[in-house]
Structure 1
Amino acid sequence: MSSSEDTPLQQTEDAASVKKHKKGNSAKAYISIILLAAVPSIIFSAATALLVVFTFRNRVILGDGSGELQTSHASDNLSLASRTVRDFIKTGGSDAYYIQFNPSTLTTIASITGKFAPYLSSAIMGLAALFAADFVQKTSQKEQNDKLLTPNQLTLLIGLFSGRLEELWKATRVRANMGGKFAAPISHTLTILIIVTVLGVLIPAVDTWFGIVVKPSEQTQLNFTTPSNHSFGRGFLQGKDCVYSDYHYPCEALKGYGADGNFIPYLPTDKEPFKILNNISTKNTISNISSNSSQSLFYLSDAAISSSKLDFKASAFAISTQCEIIKVQCQQGDRNVFDCTKQLPNRATDVTKVGFKFYNDPSLTGNISYPNYAFLNPLYFYVFLEVGELYGPEGPDVFTGTLEFGCSSTIFDATYAWVDGSIAQFNVSSTNGSIGGVMAAPFMNDNANISQQAVISSLARLSANYSDAVPLTAAAFSYSALALSYIGMESRANIIEQSRSTLTLTRVPIIPFYILITLNALIHDSSLQRRKHQGPGTGLGEIPWLIRPYKGY
């Protein structure tokens, strides 16, 4: 320290020494603040980078599958706004990345940003204080009195460094009342405080939301198989003559029904059509795609599809039959035959005979007699059931009688999409008359009647009255026609095929993911911008009170 006795040279040297000492202290303070700001910034940046890297490096691209093998999603009857709000709160939105990564590890990494956001905010406010100190020091050195802060402005600036919301509100009101801008340090500090306060609240909130919505999720991976490896479709044998020369019998392959003149009354039990008819086949099955009180629609498919994990589109034949009662006749003991009331609550317990007659018109007037066959679509036919026992409503009287139905059947070329274990699409178009001949052939000469008798008898027992027997009889014909005509069919390769596998992945909703990344980038950019505006020439030794720890967010 210089004294009054020091020479001018010594006083100059002492002043230079003091200035050098202060400059050294300022540089050390500057470096310390920069390092303190860098530590949370580095940790913050590393956590954000790891979050991005782990998400995209482990991302699994899920195949959408064929557009022809899509299922429609049930509506939840909520408005678009309601669904959006609900998705945001519960799931983070409908769009998401799926990754092969532990969800707990990912949310732990993300939580680092939320925990270090307050520390990074403090560092940013420290750098803002450094900027303010540098401004005041340089303004004082240049003696720019018009730019110096007034006592009220200094008080306002110090209040902003406290980070309290009331000081922020106070500064905002002062600026609004002034109708102009603050001096540089106050304006910058106010802007930074607003930014770090908002980000300091949003980042932990979004981080918490992110931790809630990131969850394990079972997803389906679809992979195309080209060409198809499975043959679940069905079609008639290719290259066969479908009109037998001597008897006009549909399809040479149907000789097993007696096309050669040696008629048999039923199918041998080792034949596939018999197994299909009796629902004991391990290769083929007949399913009902839709039915109601007046219509039934049946189609033939592969029995293996129920246990398959494949999605596919295949071809098939389908048949729809409708019937209506023409006449019901009853007889009690030796009495004369009389008409029964259609709604008479009798219960048939034994169908002793089934008969069919085919016609070429819906009015059932033009009979088609063997050896000709019904090469028509739709098929028009008459069915009669001889009932051996009918128990009356008052019992124990036993009735015998005949039920007569007029029916029509439409045969379709069908294609269906099987997706995730069920029918997703079923499209039909009416086929040509030759297929009608194939379906009707087993019923033209009583070859199928014994089998039909068993099928219809079992169905008739389900009837509470005669009207109930109508759709059951229609269903029995459709079922039997498909089963018995299988002898002329072969398997067809799937039109489209894709494998289905289930993966357990981590679901990362896109909306909270990018919101969190954006907020992290904003607060980190604020830190970088503050450091760029600082220089080691800051007069920290002159204005130490400007450096205060930030206690806010």
Structure 2
Amino acid sequence: MATNMDGDKIDPITEKPIVSATVTSVNADSDPSALESDTAKPSRDLKQAIYAIVGGVALPCIPIIVVSAVLLYVIFKHRIVPREAKATTDNVTALIKEIRHQGGNAAYYVEYNPSTITTIASWTGRVIPYLSSSIMALVAFFAARHIVIKSKHGDHTQLPTPEQLTLLISLLGGSGFGPLKETALYRWGRKEKLVAPLPAAFAALGVITLLGLIIPIVDTWFGVATQPVTITQLYNTSTKAYHSYGRNLDPGTTDAAICPDGPGYQAGSGSSGQSWWWPCNLFTTIPHPANIFLQGAVAVADLQLYGTTNDMLSNYTGLLSSDSTQNQTMFFYADSRSSKTLDFKAQTLGISTQCIIATTSCGYIDTNETDYQAFKCSDGFGGDVSYCYPNVWPANASESGLGGCTTGIGYATDAQLSSAAPMVNFTDADGLSETEIQGFLQQNPTYFATWGIGFPALDSRLFLNGDAQVFPNSSSQATWILNCSSTVYDVTYTYVNGALHSFNATVAEPVWGAFFSAPFTWSWLGGLMPAKLSLENAAYFAGSKASTGAEMATLWAQEYSKAALQLSVGVFQPLTNDIEQIRNSTITVARIPLVPLYLLLGFKFIYVIVVILLAIGAYCFTHPAETEVVKAQLSVQGLAAAHFDQPDLVRKNVVQEVQSRLELAKNGGSSTSETPAGQPLKRAATEPAMGSAPAGEATEEPAKVGLMPTRAGTWKFVLLADGAWQSVKPIVQTLVLNEAKDGKFGAVGDAYAAWK
């Protein structure tokens, strides 16, 4: 085949023998010089090619990009981040079930309608299967370029047979699994190698079809896994809107100061000249011990008797210091207004008390002869269990002291109860000395002993399961002594989701020990009756609930901590929270699992990248200005229109029928005898080339389909049969007219009848 190569341009091809055959006779109308003078070079339409390429990219990519962008915008625009940790799944079966139904543990939480989100995501999944034809239109540029180049170079071994051209056109139509199945069956059924560009077209349609199948599957999984859930969301509050759930001392105003100098102040001195200290949680209107009262007694009563108040006590059990080895229970001031809707951090004060049973170690003696129950924990600390406080001043326990008490308490200087708190003079406003009373020890922790008679109130000589530390006195009443220590702490705690979340405690200044112990120190005074009742209530509760002396000591210690806080609550005021955040536990959101979401976006991204690469390759490597004309004919419609000048002709099996008619012609049929006027190409007679088959024997080669430019500047499909290019037009014309006579083409067939 003679060619004229001018760069990538293809000159008109005249009918000449190629490869192993030479033309021995050609119709006069097909003289090469005449053809070359009359035939125009194929038209170049770069603008139309660019339109085709841009359309092939835009139609599938723009919907995918837009829908994916809208989906991501909705997700990240309305995304919220829950603060609570999600549980992990260790069981393999449960993990698989979780992945299948929930898409795994990792997820976005979006305050948006989940149905709307899944609907947006499904838009591309629904249309992607219908976009393969647009993408295969880009592949058609490569196919057309291949056929043009091979036709130009005369490489007939790399050109498709009519059957393979039919398969190629079917693949480029992008109609899904049908063309793929037909091509695979043809390849394996006939054991015939597929020439380019069929393998590339097959692979391209396979990838596109596979992605078109995977994307809807992943999209379905995404829709199943995206579910509405109720979560908790936290919101920061304005600094000015902080609540006051902490507690600190109320300094009062200048005219009505309550605790202007802190927990107390220096008030006088004892008989030994020792200065003594007055707590601000007590007050007196007349300078006499009998007229000492609690500050804020109404607040005290409300807290003790569960009245209407914002004051509340909470407790924490844990290691309260770095050197602690055992958990301890602390009670601290809290606020009843705290709830699950507000998380906060606040400061307050707390007390932790520990007691041990010490009846025998304090040398308790019960004798009917003296009619008193003496104890002596040390040389400096002793008394009588029927007295309200240690009567070690004077040292003889049988002398002086306030008797007639069922409970008593006395503070000491150390944990071994080596020495009782010193007695001090109560001095009035005029400086006149009054009676001496027990003073306060400014130390933290504070150490003390407490005792009780008649708790538990059982008419039996076996108390608390026969505990040797709790036994009856001469009146058959349970009697016991406890050795205790109480520590005041500065507390900072966080309250999250209606529960205590974190807790930090440091030992407070020593003055706080005297402050909280003051109401108990003088509890025998009439004005401090709430303190006396608190001691009795603690003894009653512990004695009634405990089953052993050790358990009774623990329960009594907890009751003492609560009572100490309750009796002083009147001088405390709310303290603004350090930080806080609003908690909303009723938010319904869409749970979007990350695995199916990003798988879906990933496959769509691959889909878009494949299309864009195809478009870039079509523009850069297929010379689309010339190839676009050929590419347009790589379809059933294009094939028929190219040969009959009738764009409306549509037949699916044109090339297949051409092959069968060609075989008929080889066997002596007359299908190729009818050639329209003006058709220059005839079937050429051939003879063997040098070195080929002997004379008289035809060279059996399968017919191939190529392209050649026409005089009108277009392209024409031609058949390579017996070593020469042949026009397929006469064969197709005969086919159409014969079938038109049978009424198979209707009005279209009638139009071709007139053409004959």
- Normalized against structure 1, the TM-score is what? 0.75
1:112 aligns with 2:133: no
Q: 1:283 and 1:188 mapped to 2: Cα distance?
A: 80
For 2:245, which of 232, 236, 242 is the aligned residue? 232
- Distance apart, 1:105 and its partner CA: 1.4
Q: Which moved more, 1:511-520 or 1:422-431?
A: 511-520
For 2:359, which of 327, 334, 352 is the aligned residue? 327
The answer on whether the counterparts of 1:234 and 1:490 sit within 8 Å (CA) in structure 2 is yes
C-alpha spacing 1:466/1:291, structure 2 compared with 1 (3 Å): farther
SS in 2 for 1:203: helix
1:427 aligns with 2:504: yes
Count residues in correspondence: 511
C-alpha spacing 1:312/1:30, structure 2 compared with 1 (3 Å): closer
1:519 aligns with 2:603: yes
| Unaligned 5+ runs, structure 1 | 65-70, 173-177, 340-350
The answer on whether the counterparts of 1:63 and 1:222 sit within 8 Å (CA) in structure 2 is no
Structure 2 counterpart of 1:365: 418
For 2:481, which of 404, 407, 431 is the aligned residue? 404
1:243 aligns with 2:320: no
C-alpha spacing 1:428/1:291, structure 2 compared with 1 (3 Å): closer
For 1:50, which of 70, 85, 91 is the aligned residue? 70
Residue-by-residue CA offset, 1:290-320 (whole Å, 9 max, x unaligned)? 2799842111112211x36222111111211
Identical-pair percentage:
27
Superposition pairs of residues 468-483 of structure 1, within 5 angstroms: 468-483=551-566
Amino acid at match of 1:101: Y
C-alpha spacing 1:249/1:95, structure 2 compared with 1 (3 Å): farther
The answer on whether the counterparts of 1:382 and 1:405 sit within 8 Å (CA) in structure 2 is yes
- Distance apart, 1:282 and its partner CA: 1.2
- Distance apart, 1:474 and its partner CA: 0.5
Amino acid at match of 1:427: N
Superposition pairs of residues 291-306 of structure 1, within 5 angstroms: 295-305=328-338
Q: 1:456 and 1:265 mapped to 2: Cα distance?
A: 24
- Distance apart, 1:170 and its partner CA: 10
CA RMSD between the two structures: 5.0
SS in 1 for 2:515: helix
For 1:278, which of 297, 301, 305 is the aligned residue? 305
Residue-by-residue CA offset, 1:344-372 (whole Å, 9 max, x unaligned)? xxxxxxx9722111111111121114442
Amino acid at match of 2:267: S
SS in 2 for 1:363: coil
1:376 aligns with 2:443: yes
Q: 1:237 and 1:436 mapped to 2: Cα distance?
A: 18
For 2:347, which of 315, 318, 329 is the aligned residue? 315
C-alpha spacing 1:7/1:490, structure 2 compared with 1 (3 Å): closer
Structure 1 counterpart of 2:573: 490
Amino acid at match of 1:124: I
Q: Which moved more, 1:451-460 or 1:142-151?
A: 142-151
Q: 1:170 and 1:316 mapped to 2: Cα distance?
A: 86
Superposition pairs of residues 23-172 of structure 1, within 5 angstroms: 43-56=63-76, 58-62=77-81, 73=85, 76=88, 78=90, 88-125=99-136, 127-129=138-140, 131-145=142-156, 147-149=158-160, 162=178, 164=180
Greater share of helix: 1
SS in 2 for 1:500: strand
- Distance apart, 1:496 and its partner CA: 1.6
The answer on whether the counterparts of 2:267 and 2:278 sit within 8 Å (CA) in structure 1 is no
- Distance apart, 1:254 and its partner CA: 2.1
Q: 1:284 and 1:392 mapped to 2: Cα distance?
A: 41
Q: 1:166 and 1:437 mapped to 2: Cα distance?
A: 99
SS in 2 for 1:243: strand
Q: 1:86 and 1:249 mapped to 2: Cα distance?
A: 73
- Distance apart, 1:476 and its partner CA: 0.8
Amino acid at match of 1:363: Q
Q: 1:260 and 1:60 mapped to 2: Cα distance?
A: 68
The answer on whether the counterparts of 1:225 and 1:498 sit within 8 Å (CA) in structure 2 is no
The answer on whether the counterparts of 1:132 and 1:546 sit within 8 Å (CA) in structure 2 is no
The answer on whether the counterparts of 2:140 and 2:634 sit within 8 Å (CA) in structure 1 is no
1:195 aligns with 2:248: no
Whose relative contact order is higher, 1 or 2, with alpha carbons under 8 Å and at least 6 apart?
A: 1
SS in 2 for 1:202: helix
C-alpha spacing 1:541/1:62, structure 2 compared with 1 (3 Å): closer
- Distance apart, 1:147 and its partner CA: 4.2
C-alpha spacing 1:29/1:225, structure 2 compared with 1 (3 Å): closer
Structure 2 counterpart of 1:204: 216
- Distance apart, 1:433 and its partner CA: 0.9
For 1:536, which of 599, 619, 628 is the aligned residue? 628
C-alpha spacing 1:539/1:108, structure 2 compared with 1 (3 Å): closer
The answer on whether the counterparts of 1:60 and 1:99 sit within 8 Å (CA) in structure 2 is yes
Amino acid at match of 1:114: G
Amino acid at match of 1:226: T
The answer on whether the counterparts of 2:282 and 2:294 sit within 8 Å (CA) in structure 1 is no
C-alpha spacing 1:334/1:360, structure 2 compared with 1 (3 Å): closer
Q: 2:423 and 2:101 mapped to 1: Cα distance?
A: 69
Q: 2:185 and 2:544 mapped to 1: Cα distance?
A: 85
Q: 1:462 and 1:331 mapped to 2: Cα distance?
A: 25
SS in 2 for 1:537: helix
- Distance apart, 1:526 and its partner CA: 2.7
Amino acid at match of 1:240: D
Q: Which moved more, 1:260-269 or 1:382-391?
A: 260-269
Residue-by-residue CA offset, 1:5-42 (whole Å, 9 max, x unaligned)? 9999xx979x979x99xx99xx9999999979965655
Residue-by-residue CA offset, 1:434-454 (whole Å, 9 max, x unaligned)? 111111111112231223213
Q: 1:425 and 1:438 mapped to 2: Cα distance?
A: 27
- Distance apart, 1:216 and its partner CA: 2.7
Amino acid at match of 1:59: H
C-alpha spacing 1:422/1:414, structure 2 compared with 1 (3 Å): same
Q: 2:286 and 2:414 mapped to 1: Cα distance?
A: 25
Q: 1:228 and 1:317 mapped to 2: Cα distance?
A: 23
Q: 2:534 and 2:308 mapped to 1: Cα distance?
A: 16
Q: Which moved more, 1:31-40 or 1:219-228?
A: 31-40
The answer on whether the counterparts of 1:290 and 1:296 sit within 8 Å (CA) in structure 2 is yes
Larger radius of gyration: 2
Structure 1 counterpart of 2:460: 392
The answer on whether the counterparts of 2:60 and 2:135 sit within 8 Å (CA) in structure 1 is no
Q: 1:166 and 1:409 mapped to 2: Cα distance?
A: 92
Structure 2 counterpart of 1:453: 536
The answer on whether the counterparts of 2:141 and 2:628 sit within 8 Å (CA) in structure 1 is no
